[in-house]
A = this chain, B = another copy of it.
Amino acid sequence: MAGFDLLVLAPVGSITALLFAAYLAFSIMKKDQGNDRMKEIALAVRTGAKAYLKRQYLGVSIFFAVVFCVLLFLALKGYLVIFVPFAFLTGGLFSGLSGFIGMSIATQASNRTAAGAMKSLNSGLRVAFSSGAVMGLTVVGLGLLDLSIWYYFLDWYYSTHAIPVGTDKITAITSTMLCFGMGASSQALFARVGGGIFTKAADVGADLVGKVEAGIPEDDPRNPAVIADNVGDNVGDVAGMGADLYESYVGSIVATSALGVAASLGSGIDGVKFVTVPMVMAAVGVVASIIGTFFVKSREEASQKVLLAALRKGVFSSSLLVAIISFPLVIYTLGMSYIGVYYSVLAGLFAGVLIGLVTEYYTSSGFPPTRSIADSATTGPATVIISGLAVGMMSTALPVIIVCLAILASYFLSGGANNFNAGLYGVAISAVGMLSTLGITLATDAYGPVADNAGGNAEMSHLPPEVRKRTDALDALGNTTAATGKGFAIGSAALTALALIAAYRDQLVLSGKELKLNLLEPTLLVGLFLGGMLPFLFCSMTMRAVGRAAGKIVVEVRRQFKEIKGLMEGKAKPDYARCVTIATAAAQKEMIMPSLLAITAPIAVGLLVGIEAVAGLLTGATVTGFVLAIMMANSGGAWDNAKKYIEEGNHGGKGSPAHKAAVSGDTVGDPFKDTSGPSLNILIKLMSMVSIVFASFIMAHTLVK
């Protein structure tokens, strides 16, 4: 047993995840699709979503081709290992594939969920949750696959070929793998920003003309933008989120591996062992997640509380399993003297759960903060906005404190007081711990848009009201799990970003440059200021992009209402596809500038202000981005649920002045929580990745040496 190479569990875990995902996918496909009308609507959404992704991947391909050439050029010039350009491609490919597969199954599951809900709440829940689980397991499966392939390939290559001068095999492997995160992050940013702009432009556009001007209900089939709205849920909340979390997942593992090698120096333990722990822990998480999915089921006609408890049971049991199995894993791999690494894992797992609970407190209408927003709706939109912003700002305190405690605990418990690198490894592995149960946490998150679409399908297919009531119950739950999922994504992003900044420093050390990271060094301070400002600039750009894109949808919907005779009477069909095309084109155009900002900022700052400034930039962006992302996600979630709380009949219910004011809050919250906020996670990690990949180049050409 002592000689058994645990690392082989990584590909095994990967295959297991993908096989189980395939099994779930087939079982979903066998479910009842509902009547013809339901199938027809689902087909329209599916077609639109695929058309969007096709267009998106086309644009992204051009970007990847250009960056590939740049990286190839840098590699040929000796600034990069030759594998980096190819690793960049596979990272992007697998990240995109995660989103694509998740979205394909989600668009198949929506009408089947509606059909399930015709039978019972539990049948609906099972279909929607299975669809989320396919997505979650695909993400972790493909992530582990990409990691395993590269690890074994590089291991073989450097065993049979020359290792780059001044390094050893495992360092050569991990520093190359680190760079492939840039591909995943780029893909994720495009998916989140593009998808986020699409979904909110369609949503706001459909609402402004349909609900407000024409006075027809939500999801009414006469609204030309209704299909685009449903497509948006899939391309933004499913495909975007899939790519996003794929990036988080592999990012945390490669950063941890790279730091592990640094930590191994002088420890007397082979660096491979430090790489084995995060990879195998991910595999353990796969199994734990699969087992967790079996705990998710509900009695018939359960309350929302019971449904939430069902999902929780799945997540908590997975977390518990990881907590148990990690113990022998760490002991077997690193030995008792590194037991602190296990405590770091626990710190990460525990922090993730806590952040989820805090998020729920601030965004669920069962608690005072969201209630206070609903109360303030009685005095008009201005007070709704002020109280929503105040709640969002207030809600940043506890997650920040929790992450700070996780940092301190994981650093000091894994021996940071004596060995700086071991401590940083501890911080990094706490992020892996937090993300290890991604297979199931992502399932609870990704099931939301499916339930949402199922509701739309039920509405447009004129199914009986009790079906819509069931899908609404599933959807409302989705709001809570989505907010929880976002808190989780943000928390892990902060930890991963720190690990990446440390990896950036190590990358420069490998290139023979010791960074002077003195906080009062003015170039570093300037970097901090610029980094602190960037998330604000980025949010401004994405929010304005949503506004412009929504404006185009508004014009088109008005045109169709005016020009298509008999549309309002239900005698003629609107041109759904045109709205999808317009939203697609607008999203594609608008995602370019913010994405370029993320990629060029670290290179520009590095060349103009120096490599220390880059460290400052990354840290400043991580700090502000983390806080701003929590604020935006929680304000948005709280506004949404405050509106829903009023719709349940409080403060005058639907149609009251309070409701109108709450709708304004929700509209402001839409780009907050679904476009700008979640993109910030990726922004900070992508900037770190870019800095790492371009480190040698910047070092050679910076004006400030």
Q: Which A residues are within 8 Å of any B CB, using their own CB?
A: 208, 212, 376, 379-383, 385-387, 389-394, 396-397, 400-401, 403-404, 407-408, 411-412, 416, 420, 423-424, 427, 494, 498, 501-502, 505, 517-520, 522-526, 528-533, 536-537, 539-541, 543-544, 546-547, 609, 615-616, 619-620, 623-624, 626-627, 631, 663-665, 667-668, 671
Contacts and interface: CB of A to CB of B under 8 A. Distances in A.
B380 A664 contact: yes
A543 B391 CA distance: 10
Contacts of A394: 536-537, 540-541, 544
A531 B620 CA distance: 11
A383 B396 CA distance: 25
A587 B408 CA distance: 38
A411 B522 contact: yes
A532 B407 contact: no
Contact of A517 (B380, B420, B520): B520
B381 A547 contact: no
Contacts of A615: 519
A673 to B, nearest CB: 13
Contact of A530 (B400, B423, B517): B400
A609 B408 contact: yes
A627 B536 contact: yes
A502 B522 CA distance: 11
Nearest to A620: B623
Given A390-B540, A404-B529, A609-B408, A668 B397 contact: no
A671 B386 contact: yes
A524 B519 CA distance: 9
A543 B501 contact: no
Contacts of A391: 540
Contacts of A668: 382, 385-386, 389
Given A386-B668, A423-B522, A547-B386, A627 B624 contact: yes
A381 B383 contact: no
B380 A533 contact: no
A616 B530 contact: no
17 contacts: A381-B664, A382-B664, A387-B547, A390-B539, A390-B544, A392-B540, A396-B536, A400-B529, A400-B530, A400-B532, A404-B529, A408-B522, A519-B619, A528-B623, A529-B623, A532-B627, A623-B624
A599 B377 CA distance: 34
B624 A624 contact: yes
Contacts of A525: 407, 498, 619
Contacts of A416: 522
Contacts of A522: 407-408, 411-412, 416, 423-424, 427
A533 B631 CA distance: 10
What 7 pairs between A and B have smallest CB-CB spacing?
A393-B540, A382-B667, A532-B623, A517-B519, A394-B540, A400-B533, A411-B522
Contacts of A619: 519, 525, 528
A579 B522 CA distance: 50
A595 to B, nearest CB: 17
Given A517-B518, A519-B517, A624-B623, A404 B537 contact: no
A627 B208 CA distance: 32
A624 B532 contact: yes
A136 to B, nearest CB: 29
Best-buried of A522, A664, A667 by chain B (most CB within 10 Å): A522
A393 B537 contact: yes
Nearest to A380: B664
Best-buried of A208, A386, A543 by chain B (most CB within 10 Å): A386
Contacts of A665: 382
Given A383-B667, A517-B518, A519-B524, 12 more contacts: A385-B385, A393-B540, A396-B537, A400-B530, A407-B529, A424-B522, A498-B525, A502-B520, A518-B518, A519-B619, A525-B619, A532-B627
A662 to B, nearest CB: 11
A306 B13 CA distance: 74
A202 B424 CA distance: 51
A547 B376 contact: yes
A422 to B, nearest CB: 12
A666 to B, nearest CB: 8
Contacts of A530: 400-401, 404
A565 B379 CA distance: 26
A403 B501 CA distance: 24
Given A543-B386, A627-B536, A501 B520 contact: yes
Best-buried of A390, A408, A524, A537 by chain B (most CB within 10 Å): A390
A392 B379 CA distance: 25
A533 B386 contact: no
Contacts of A411: 522
Contact of A533 (B396, B519, B524): B396
A193 B526 CA distance: 29
A396 B520 CA distance: 22
A536 B403 contact: no
B383 A536 contact: no
A210 B618 CA distance: 49
Contacts of A379: 208
Contacts of A408: 522-523, 526, 609
A502 B525 CA distance: 12
Contacts of A609: 408
A376 B668 CA distance: 13
B532 A626 contact: yes
Contacts of A420: 520
A201 to B, nearest CB: 12
A445 to B, nearest CB: 24
Nearest to A527: B404
Contacts of A519: 517-519, 524, 615-616, 619
Contacts of A397: 533, 536-537
Best-buried of A528, A540, A663 by chain B (most CB within 10 Å): A540
Contacts of A537: 393-394, 396-397
A531 B517 CA distance: 19
Contacts of A531: 623
Contacts of A532: 400, 532, 623-624, 626-627
